[in-house]
Amino acid sequence: MLRLGRREFDAHEPVIMAIVNRTPDSFYDQGATFRDEPALARVEQAVAEGAAIVDIGGVKAGPGDEVSAREEARRTVGFVAEVRRRFPEVVISVDTWRAEVGEAVCEAGADLLNDAWGGVDPGLAEVAARYGVGLVCTHAGGAEPRTRPHRVSYDDVMADILRVTTGLAERAVSLGVPRESVLIDPGHDFGKSTRHSLEATRRLGEMVETGWPVLVSLSNKDFVGETLDKPVKERVVGTLATTAVSAWLGAQVYRVHEVAETRQVVDMVASIAGHRPPAVARRGLA
C-alpha cells in the first residue's frame, strides 16, 4: 500500500503525477504556468484528466539563471497553499532539493517532497520525517543540482541505482518518514547518458523487486529525444512507448506533462496485465 496525503493506492494501481512548473524558463512549456491562474487551471485540468498527484516545481532542472532558496519558496509556497485550499483531496508534491524550501512547503500543505537530485541536501529527508510526509528518493549519479552529465560512466548503472535509491529510502525510514510513503526513482537523464537511461528502463523490474514503489519521470526527456532524434515538442510518442514498457515492468507512479494520454496507456497496460477490468466489455455478449 502506497500512502500519500489523504490517499491510499493499491500495489498495482497506476498513479499519475502531473507536472506544474512555476518557472519562467521550463524546458517543455517555456513558462506557461509561471503565473498563478494558468498554473491553477493546469491543476484543475490535470485532476479532471486523472492525475492523483500534482508536482510543483520552482526551479528549472537544467542550467539557467540562479534561483535562490528565497525565490524558489516565493514561487511555490503560496501556490501550494492555494492548491491545498482548492483541491483538498489531491496529493501535493513539491520538486525541490533544499531542506529550507521543503520546510516551507510542508507548512503550506505539501504531502510529498520530490528530491530529484538524490539527497544532495540530507536535511530534506529530515524535514519529510518531521512533517510525516512522503519522499521520492532519486538516483542522480552524484551530480550537483542543475548540471548536465559529462562522460559519466558506471560499472553497472542499475547496481548503482539500486544501491543509492534503496540506501536513501532506508535512511528516510530510519529518520521517521513513513515507510509506506517512500518511493524510489531511477532518475532518467539525471547523471546519465541516453544509453544509461535506456538500460535503466530495460532493467526497471530490478527496482520493482526491491519492494519500494517505483516512480518514473520520463516525460519528453532528452534520452527519448536522442533515441528517436526528435526535438522536445515531438517526443510524446516515444515517451508513451517508454511509459508502457515501464508500466509492464511494474512502475507505479508516472511524472508527466500529458496526463490524459498517460492515463490511457497505464490503464491499458494494467488491463492487459490483469490488474484492471475493462471499462466496458460488451463485445461478443450482445
Identify which of 141, 87, 138, 144 has the alpha carbon closest to the alpha carbon of residue 110. 87
Does the annotation mark 146 as catalytic?
Answer: no
What pLDDT does 21 receive? Answer: 94
Long-range contacts of 225-233 (CB under 8 A, 24+ apart): 226/194, 227/194, 227/198, 232/27, 232/28
Q: How far apart are CA 34 and CA 25, in angstroms?
A: 9
**59 and 107 in contact (C-beta within 8 Å)?**
no
Q: How far apart are CA 103 and CA 126, in angstroms?
A: 10
- Catalytic residue, from 75, 98, 171, 221: name it: 221
How many residues are given for the chain?
Answer: 286
262 by Cβ neighbours in 10 Å (0-12 / 13-18 / 19+) ranks as buried
- The answer on pLDDT for 286 being more than 80 is no
- The answer on pLDDT for 29 being more than 90 is no
Task: List pLDDT tens digits, range 207-255.
Answer: 999 999 999 999 999 999 999 999 999 999 999 999 999 999 999 999 9
What pLDDT does 25 receive? Answer: 84
Which amino acid is it at 104?
A: A
The β-bridge relationship of strands 7-9 and 2-4 is: antiparallel
What pLDDT does 54 receive? Answer: 98
Mean pLDDT (whole number) for 20-46: 90
- Catalytic residue, from 22, 171, 192, 255: name it: 255
* pLDDT level of residue 264 (50, 70, 90 thresholds): very high
Q: Which residues of 175-205 are buried (b: 16+ CB within 10 A; e: fewer)?
A: eebbeebbbbbbbbbbbbbbebbbbbbebbe
Task: List pLDDT tens digits, range 113-122.
Answer: 999 999 999 9
- Give the domains, in start order, of the chain with CATH numbers: 2-273 (3.20.20.20)
Task: List pLDDT tens digits, range 174-204.
Answer: 999 999 999 999 999 999 999 999 999 999 9
Does the annotation mark 233 as catalytic?
Answer: no
- The answer on pLDDT for 172 being more than 90 is yes
- The answer on pLDDT for 77 being more than 80 is yes
Q: What pTM, to 2 d.p., does this model score?
A: 0.96
- The answer on pLDDT for 49 being more than 80 is yes
What pLDDT does 30 receive? Answer: 74
* pLDDT level of residue 31 (50, 70, 90 thresholds): confident
